[in-house]
Amino acid sequence: MSHFVHNTLSGLKKLLDNNEQMKTISEEGEVYTVSCSFNAPIKTTEVEMFESEHDIKLPEDYKAFLTLHNGARIYESIDEDGDKLGDGLEIFSLDEIKEYQEIEYLSEHGIPIAHLLEDCYLILDTDKLKGGDPNYLNIMEFTDLSSLNLNFEIFLDRYIISQGEVFWSWPIYTAENYYRTR
């Protein structure tokens, strides 16, 4: 299987200005300035060492990301004073993953790899990975864990295409209930 993580990130980077910022359009026409920053890559040997230390084989698409960038911040909002607000998608470095694995309520569900929104985490479901299930990515919203029925690169691609919006909840909003929930 070929992975398109590189193409997705390359496309995003083409839209960034010299300050690694860009304008995005959000729901109902709101326009924001966001920042995207990317860590340096990690060596394949470091990923292999992480896998052996934790007795897990990370998915290939996620390893492809790590060898491009050992962590990133994508669509972090910038306020009118130019300050970053700390939101958006924070994809953890391997060192950060180790720190988050020490948080029991996260690690008991798998490997936390990213933080987004308010108290939401992306978690690699280790049981699904061991069983070969390609839909191994879960989201923990507060304390509710649910499957996204996606892998990492499809999630990343859709997150970037949707400009950081909560695309996974779109099917629950209809013309009947959209206006009542706003």
Q: What is the pLDDT of residues 90-103, one digit of tens each?
A: 999 999 999 998 88
* Residue 2, pLDDT above cutoff 60: no
106 and 121 in contact (C-beta within 8 Å)?
yes
Report how far residue 134's alpha carbon sits from residue 149's, in angstroms, rounded to the nearest whole number.
Answer: 8
pLDDT tens track for 35-54: 999 999 999 999 999 999 88
155 and 122 in contact (C-beta within 8 Å)?
yes
Report how far residue 95's alpha carbon sits from residue 42's, in angstroms, rounded to the nearest whole number.
Answer: 11
Q: What is the CB-side half-sphere exposure of residue 92 using CA atoms within 13 A?
A: 18
Report how far residue 175's alpha carbon sits from residue 93's, in angstroms, rounded to the nearest whole number.
Answer: 40
* Residue 137, pLDDT above cutoff 80: yes
Q: What pTM, to 2 d.p., does this model score? A: 0.91
Q: Which carries the bigger pLDDT value, residue 127 or residue 1? A: 127
Proportion of the chain above pLDDT 90, given as a percent: 70
Question: Which token pair is 27?
Answer: 């729901």
DSSP code string of 102-165? TSHHHHTTSEEEEEETTTEEEEE-HHHHHHT-S--EEEEETTEEEEEEE-HHHHHHHHHHTTT-
65 and 153 in contact (C-beta within 8 Å)?
yes
